[in-house]
Amino acid sequence: MCGIVGYIGEKQAAPILLQGLRRLEYRGYDSAGIAILDQGCIHRARSVGRIDNLIDAIGGKQFPGTMGIAHTRWATHGGVTEENAHPHSSCDGSLMLMHNGIIENYRDIKEKLGGEHVFRSETDSEVLAHLIEHHYQLLTGKEGDARLRLSVEAALSHVRGTYGLLVIHKDHPNCIIAARLGSPIAIGINLGEYFIASDPTPMLAHTKNVVFLDDGEIAAVTRSSLDTFTLKDEHIVKCVEQIDWNDEQAEKQGYPHFMLKEIFDQPTVFEDAIRGRYNLAEGTANLGGLNMTPTEMQRVSRIVLIACGTASYAAMVGKYAFERLAGIPTEVDVGSEFRYRDPIIDDRTLVFAISQSGETADTLAALREAKRKGAFVRGIVNVIGSTIARETDGGTYMHAGPELAVASTKAYTNMLAILLLYALQFGRQRRVSLATGQRLLGALREIPRKMQALFEQAPAIEALAKKYASYEHFLYLGRGINVPVALEGSHKLKEISYIHSEAYAAGEMKHGVNALLCPEFPVLAIMTKNQLYDKMRSNVEEVRARKSKVILLVNEGDEQAKELADDVLMVPPTMELLEPLLNTIPLQLFAYYIAVALDRDVDRPRNLAKSVTVE
């Protein structure tokens, strides 16, 4: 949520900052702002709504300058107004600040500052600008840019909450201060210039060399240097990391929406996810990031998969795989609930934190709780250098490339790939035979080709979506390993089309769901040929008996299934454990085309953000 961009160098800052904001639109926002420092003056513009509105607000005004900061805001404290948009200023306008996160004790700070400061917004963020101003006035004995940095350090020592912070001051024309606690900050390094952002996406066109701030760190960035400190004023040396995405990957490449591009990316990025991570001759996977000896792997008696949203549905598939292949009891925990119920964790528990961004606040808090309780903690993330990647003791990058649509598609299927490989790695050590391992890997290698074949149905799925776009309710049904597929399909439909949609294990229909069935409540049922095929067929018969329209997702060649359905989606057959990799794609396309038919903002649905970095 929210996006921060900063630039200092020799180029004009405004175009770089505005382009950076556009690259962060996927995070979700409701207002935007920019501040440029030039010749001792700070030029500021803010607006409600899209970045285009901010450009209109700038209008014909001159915003020259080679140093500045910009922000997209997602309202938490205070309504969606220009006054509440960032950047916020000190009383005299000398200092400008942008903040991601939540200041929990902002009321106390505001009260202590008293009547000496004039507050112009309803936000928690503005108190930081005044608090830093207060300490800046106290540090009159300090000279140079250190005065600004130390003022920020002093202010943050009074703060309870989370922040990703950028600060500029008119008397420090060669310095941007950045700080981080719980909300990510990345600093891109290029010759004679630096880029600062909430994640590396805005800087991909300029550099791949990035430093990531850790919690409790503050950076002073000038045109010629980057110095990092702790909040106790201890100088620290940071490692520069290489980002393996490129700018072209972050563009739409001719697709009307990022979401459609990312759906069609799946065969390629799936191959990236599994490449070099399996041994067909041995019938096993080899994910070196696990960082566990064979003895430590044998000690694992329980696995906990922690995730939120779409990642949690991937985790549900992972549960089936770990229990079936490795025989290890596995639980799926929602990140936002995990630490509030005093979870039973010990040193024989392996915890996987799963997050596309690697910054999901609830998942991050949960993994920290698991570490405190002594578990093995590993991460499955997409963003190199993300907080979860740095705070776990190992793990695996999913190599999905930049995913800019809010609704996750390719990251989801790559999460499934990594979880399946981990399950096989544990399974081969415990009870899976060589032949079974080889058969599963052989089927896994066929998945990209079968994914590609599914895209030939896109025109037919688009026509089907237009047929059903006028319905106000939907029900998705699955059994066994396809229950999480139904949940994810329903999730996609509701988040981008705003249609009310529910998903259930089909065996639960008699326990309440049947009351919803009627001609106005269509049902999409997943009935591919696995061990629960006949059970699922009986459930579909129940739906038909209650006059709901039925869309069936079935395997190619299943002619009998067509007799039960009003409409059919076809997928190639595969091993049961791998079915979610294929069955999910038609549901992604179905949701996408319905949203397009309803003229929704597909890539940036209302009220949602790509990366949820506050609790």
Note the residue count of the chain: 615
**3-state DSSP call for residue 200?**
coil
Q: Do residues 241 and 212 lie in contact, with contact meaning Cβ atoms separated by under 8 Å?
A: yes
Buried b / exposed e over 303-334, threshold 16 CB at 10 Å, is: bbbbbbbbbbbbbbbbbbbbeebbebebbbbb
Angle between helices 483-497 and 579-597 (to 10 degrees): 20
**3-state DSSP call for residue 278?**
strand
Largest CA distance in the chain: 84
C-alpha distances (whole Å) from 451 to each of 154, 440, 457, 528, 572 are 54, 17, 11, 16, 9
Nearest CA to 591 out of 126, 291, 262 is that of 262
Residues 6+ apart with CB under 8 A from 108: none
Q: Do residues 219 and 199 lie in contact, with contact meaning Cβ atoms separated by under 8 Å?
A: no
| Amino acid found at 47 | S
Question: What is the rounded distance in angstroms from the CA atom of residue 518 to the CA atom of residue 534?
Answer: 23
Nearest CA to 592 out of 168, 251, 255, 166 is that of 255
Angle between helices 410-430 and 579-597 (to 10 degrees): 170
**164: part of which helix (H) or strand (E)?**
strand 163-169
Give the sheet arrangement for strand 349-355, strand by strand.
330-334, 302-307, 349-355, 376-381, 395-397
Active site residue ranges? 2, 610
Nearest CA to 413 out of 398, 426, 425, 396 is that of 398
Phi, psi of 519 (to 5 degrees): -60, -25
**3-state DSSP call for residue 199?**
coil
Ramachandran area for residue 515 (φ above 0: left; ψ -120 to 50: alpha; else beta):
alpha
**331: part of which helix (H) or strand (E)?**
strand 330-334
Phi, psi of 322 (to 5 degrees): -65, -40
Q: Token pair of 496, please? A: 């981008």
Give ∠ CA 389-390-391 in degrees, rounded to 5: 100
Question: What is the rounded distance in angstroms from the CA atom of residue 418 to the CA atom of residue 402?
Answer: 17
